[in-house]
Amino acid sequence: MGLTSEQVQTIRSTAPILQEHGNTITTSFYSTMLKEVPDLKNVFNQANQVNGHQPAALAASLHAYATNIDDLGALSPAVEKICQKHASLYIQPKQYEVVGEYLLRAMGEVLGSALTPEVLDAWTAAYWQLANLMITREEQLVQDADGWTDWREFRIADKVKESEVITSFYLEPVDKKPLPSFMPGQYISVQTYIPKLGYRQSRQYSLSDAPHADWYRISVKKEEDLNLEHPEVHKHPGLISNILHDEKNIGDILEVSHPAGEFFLDTEGDLGCPIVLLSAGVGITPMMSMLDTLVANGTDQPITFVHGAHSFAQRAFSSQLQTITHSHPHVRYVSFIKNPDVHDSAKDHHYDYTGREDVKKLDRVRNLFLDNDTTRYFVCGPNSFMDDVWHSLTEMGVGKDRIKMEVFGTGMPTTN
């Protein structure tokens, strides 16, 4: 049942209040809920609680929801992103009941008398309108996962160091059942129990190779300056990546969810048109999946793979990329190195440009295929990098519908 016109007007009228007090509401919400329902610590990224990213993201979502309450289509990309992640974490409908209870309670505690009975009724109806939409979508996503409806045990079959900071993990299902395929660019969630914390934590990692029936590959960056023995280690965003690098070995077991994510290359819809893959740092991982899939499928469509790294030692997959370009003339590889120290211990010192990756330095026709209005652009890396690429491409006349971007973590890139 939809909202009444009066409720729509009421929700819209609260947008300025949420813009001012939203972060206070969501911070109180998470703090109280996780204290009183500690089992949910297994679900929520605790580092994002401490650094404030999750409360800020929810506050922004609430404000956007209130602003667009009569035009939910405007929120579809953000809602789909959240639903994909929820499905990968196997969020249950009953958990929406808990979230709704604590969120509305936090609104009351922060807004006080401003949360009149009429406003509370409107927000209760609005919450469940969105919650039911998301529950339905998430149930569909899980049903579409070839019978993979819960966490599944995977064994680390191999660990391969790709650079000074990135290591690939080859994961095989313990039950030996064939793995479903996926769209290149999608991710899996990896979950592990952390004894020193007393609960599980999960993180999403892009699949970094073409689909295989027997194994998946993720390539994980190790965050620096993290001591796993520090008493407040849970506050660090690189906790799980460091555990994978330092504590998980070949033969160890991880819990893994089915592939998910709304950022991907459509192997049918994007077939035949030029493809430009732009990445920086560990943002290279979904791009490797896209390129490996295109090459495995035998496509001859023009492809440019552009990557930026801080140094030769921190750059991953360069040798593989050069091998692909040498054997596939329709593929071009362009490398930016921010600090090209020739005394770097890395063996491969090939690169094309010095400094931070800059799309404007690329040849508009040879590298970016700007002469073809069907060209598709895929972008992944730090938010500042993606913002720069977005603005550069749109200034060059590329339509927004031809640019796809992936954010690691919470939030969305700036696209206006």
Q: Distance (Å, rounded) from C-alpha 321 to C-alpha 304?
A: 11
The answer to whether 164 is a known catalytic residue is no
Q: Distance (Å, rounded) from C-alpha 104 to C-alpha 96?
A: 12
For CA atoms 278, 282, 285, 288, the dihedral sign is: positive
The answer to whether 101 is a known catalytic residue is no
Which listed residue (138, 162, 262, 406) is catalytic?
138
Query: Which two three-digit tokens encode residue 65?
Result: 């929801």
Q: Distance (Å, rounded) from C-alpha 7 to C-alpha 348?
A: 62
∠ CA 161-165-171, rounded to 5°: 45
Which listed residue (30, 96, 170, 205) is catalytic?
96
Give strand pairing partners of 333: 305
Contact 332, 325 (CB under 8 A): yes
3-state SS record for the chain: CCCCHHHHHHHHHCHHHHHHHHHHHHHHHHHHHHHHCHHHHHCCCHHHHHCCHHHHHHHHHHHHHHHCCCCHHHHHHHHHHHHHHHHHCCCCHHHHHHHHHHHHHHHHHHHHHHCCHHHHHHHHHHHHHHHHHHHHHHHHHHHCCCCCCCCEEEEEEEEEECCCCEEEEEEEECCCCCCCCCCCCCEEEEEEEECCCCEEEEEEEEECCCCCCCCEEEEEECCCCCCCCCCCHHHCCCHHHHHHHHCCCCCCEEEECCCECCCCCCCCCCCCCCEEEEEEHHHHHHHHHHHHHHHHCCCCCCEEEEEEECCCCCCCCHHHHHHHHHHCCCEEEEEEECCCCCCCCCCCCCCCEECCCCHHHCCCCCCCCCCCCCCEEEEECCHHHHHHHHHHHHHCCCCHHHEEEECCCCCCCCCC
Q: Give catalytic residues, as residue numbers.
A: 96, 138
